[in-house]
Amino acid sequence: MRGRWRRLGGERWELLAALLVFLILALADLLLPGMHNDEGLHGLAAGYVLAPESAAGSRIVINQFLSFFGRLFPVMLESYDGAVLPYFLAPFLGLFGHSLFALRLAMVLLSAGTLVCIYESVRSWFGRPTAGVAVLLIATNLFFVDYSRISLHRNEVAALFFLWAGLWALTRYGAAPRTRTLVLAAFPLGLGLSMKITFLWYLTALGGAGFLLRRRLGMKLARGRDLAWAAAAFSAGLLPLIVYNIDRGGWTLRLLWDSLLSPTRADKGGVDNARYWANLWTRCGQLGEILAGKLPVRGEWGVSEPAALQSLGPWIAVLTLGAAAFVLFRAVRGRLPAPERARLLFLCAFYALVFLQTPFTVSNLDTEHLLVLLPLPQIILALGAVQLADLGRGGRTLAGALVLAAVVFHAGLQRDFDGQMRANGGYRRWSTSIQELADYLKKHKISSPVIFGFAARENVVFLTDDAVRPALCRSGTEEEVREAWRAASSKGGAMHWIYTGAREEEPGYRGFQALARAAGRKVTLERLFLNREGHPVYWLFKVS
């Protein structure tokens, strides 16, 4: 056993070093920014896996679940988000309780697993030096580190594990065809599609790139028995989505079809998918921001780029594009071995097809959706650096400077952003004051306050272990506001509502104020919850 660990350290020391760097960066400020309601939703679902059905009173926030042997098994969290991750989270909740620490620790470790899968795949395709540089660049990348913490909100980063686990297994199957290896490839790919409908971008691109380059890659049709087992494994991973669509009459297919024919729901962005070229142009601009290290939610996280590093962002984007041009030029000129050239073309074709699908959406054109392109820039940069190093001493110097610039830029931003978040605790729905709000409600037995948006509902239910269940009054229509008022008034005693200052909450907030005045009841601000800089985040009103 000791000899095996020594061999592992000797053969893969660069992977172990990258994992150590990643864990140090990701775990250093694990609880920053504050808890997002998507994290609370996943935490609630994970709690259902552990608790008897009778204890899972807040199951109403889950889109669909199955009940077996006195326990609830979540199937779908939302209409296009499957309940895959809650089963991974459940053991962490069992060990560390209903806490943000448990959720984020689990997701950081999942991303560490992603690094392993990427390393092994890239090592098989392009060799050990490229794999080592690639995982170092990924492990220090601002987006990978920060979004690994909150990947229950941004599932695009969590989905990387399922994609690269599948690609690693497919690579091994290509080298030595075995039924179990193809099964190990198909199952995580099915799970990925169950977890997030946008995983379909990956599957479509995988099929398209494989078909276009099948001869260059030397691909052969798998044996019938292998295909049958792989189909069964893929279906097993897809089971949550299958169960949901059987029960809902093919709802997912109808959602995709309707989104193509008409704009998406207004509350999801109202994107017209028929305006493909305009949407693609928007995505191109967003891609430039990602390559330059522009964190999309930096405003709500309460961070801004320091001037010294901000000026480097465009240069990092230029270096990445330059590395891509250099690598592709050498590939076209035949400077790379044929197998390596074929794999490079496959990788580029795969991610090009992914990007060309991103203008199609069932929600909105969120910049963070482009996290699906990770870790292509880092792999390309690693390929460029290694090939430069092969050109001699000057090439090695330039390659080292290239890698060092990217690492310093992202690690520097990471350290600076974490420092800013420690000072302010985040803003609005990302504020760390959500924990203070949950503790206050639980301590004072305010069990059912009215809330006018999703910004805190699931968080409060999760953090109070179902002791507090806010009543949602979301649309703000006169009818819904009156119904929510009647329901809250019927319980007797004092009534409470939570307001976050968000624009979409204004109709409900003002409607409740008007109804309180009409009823002659007194409205007072019971508690104002501030972030660490003293900015208001949550207003808790009391109607007596």
Average pLDDT over residues 300-306: 75
Burial class (CB within 10 angstroms; exposed 0-12, middle 13-18, buried 19+) of 134: buried
Task: With H, G, I as helix, E, B as strand and everything else as coil, classify residue 35.
Answer: coil
Whether pLDDT at 1 is above 50? no
pLDDT at 75: 87
Phi then psi dihedrals of residue 317, to 5 deg:
-65, -45
Average pLDDT over residues 186-198: 95
d(CA 544, CA 489): 10
- For residue range 447-505, list pLDDT tens digits in order: 999 998 877 888 999 999 888 988 888 767 888 888 888 888 887 778 999 998 888 88
Half-sphere exposure of residue 96, counting CA atoms within 13 Å on the CB side?
14
Choose the weakest-confidence range: 7-11, 218-222, 241-245, 343-347.
7-11
Query: Which of the listed ranges 211-220, 344-353, 419-428 does the model predict with the highest average pLDDT?
Result: 344-353
Maximum Cα interatomic distance, the chain, rounded to a whole number of Å: 83
Average pLDDT over residues 117-122: 98
Torsion over CA of 111, 112, 116 and 121, rounded to 10 degrees? Answer: 20
Site of tokens 């006018």: 452
Q: Which two tokens stand for residue 164?
A: 């690269």
Q: Which amino acid is at 455?
A: A
Residues 6+ apart with CB under 8 A from 142: 293, 295, 410, 413, 414, 417
Q: How confident is the model at residue 68 (pLDDT cuts 50, 70, 90)?
A: confident
Choose the weakest-confidence range: 176-190, 225-239, 246-260, 355-369.
246-260
Task: With H, G, I as helix, E, B as strand and everything else as coil, classify residue 348.
Answer: helix
Burial class (CB within 10 angstroms; exposed 0-12, middle 13-18, buried 19+) of 493: exposed
Average pLDDT of the chain is: 87
Average pLDDT over residues 122-149: 95
Q: How many C-beta neighbours within 10 Å does residue 271 have?
A: 21
Could you tell me how far CA 223 lies from the centroid of its own chain? Answer: 35
Q: Which two tokens stand for residue 250?
A: 């093919």
Choose the weakest-confidence range: 51-55, 146-150, 248-252.
51-55
Average pLDDT over residues 181-187: 95
pLDDT at 50: 84
Q: How many residues does the chain have?
A: 544
pLDDT at 145: 94
List residues bridging with 499 in a β-sheet. Answer: 539
Task: With H, G, I as helix, E, B as strand and everything else as coil, classify residue 469.
Answer: coil
Whether pLDDT at 3 is above 70? no
Nearest to 245 by CA among 67, 42, 47, 63: 63
Nearest to 158 by CA among 117, 217, 124, 212: 117
pLDDT at 199: 95
Site of tokens 């494989």: 210
- For residue 406, the surrounding DSSP H or E stretch is helix 393-424
Whether pLDDT at 59 is above 50? yes
- For residue range 351-368, list pLDDT tens digits in order: 999 999 999 888 888 899
Q: Which two tokens stand for residue 462?
A: 């999760």
Nearest to 347 by CA among 155, 140, 188, 202: 202
Buried b (16+ CB within 10 A) or exposed e, 445-475: ebeebbbbbbbbbbbbbbbbbbbbbbebbbe
pLDDT at 61: 61
Half-sphere exposure of residue 271, counting CA atoms within 13 Å on the CB side?
22
Q: How many C-beta neighbours within 10 Å does residue 7 have?
A: 10
Whether pLDDT at 266 is above 60? no
d(CA 238, CA 197): 11
Torsion over CA of 384, 389, 395 and 398, rounded to 10 degrees? Answer: 60
pLDDT at 130: 95
Q: How confident is the model at residue 5 (pLDDT cuts 50, 70, 90)?
A: very low
Average pLDDT over residues 167-175: 93
Residues 6+ apart with CB under 8 A from 327: 344, 380, 383, 384, 387
28 and 418 Cβ atoms separated by less than 8 Å: yes
Which is higher by pLDDT, 346 or 67?
A: 346
Q: Which two tokens stand for residue 396?
A: 């090695």
In this structure, the strands spanning 495-499 and 450-451 are parallel
Nearest to 509 by CA among 536, 466, 538, 487: 538
d(CA 205, CA 199): 10
Nearest to 67 by CA among 86, 53, 47, 54: 53
d(CA 366, CA 301): 16
pTM strictly above 0.75: yes
Q: How far apart are the first and last CA of the chain?
A: 69
Q: How confident is the model at residue 277 (pLDDT cuts 50, 70, 90)?
A: very high
Q: Which two tokens stand for residue 185?
A: 């490839």
Can you state the angle between helices 376-389 and 393-424, rounded to 10 degrees?
Answer: 150
Burial class (CB within 10 angstroms; exposed 0-12, middle 13-18, buried 19+) of 121: buried
Percentage of the chain with pLDDT > 70? 93
User: 375: cis peptide before it, omega within 30°?
Assistant: yes
Whether pLDDT at 10 is above 50? yes
Q: Which two tokens stand for residue 27?
A: 């775990």
In three-state form (DSSP H/G/I as H, E/B as E, the rest C), the secondary structure along 361-403 is CCCCCCHHHHHHHCCHHHHHHHHHHHHHHCCCHHHHHHHHHHH
Helix/strand/coil percent split, the chain, to 5: 65, 10, 25
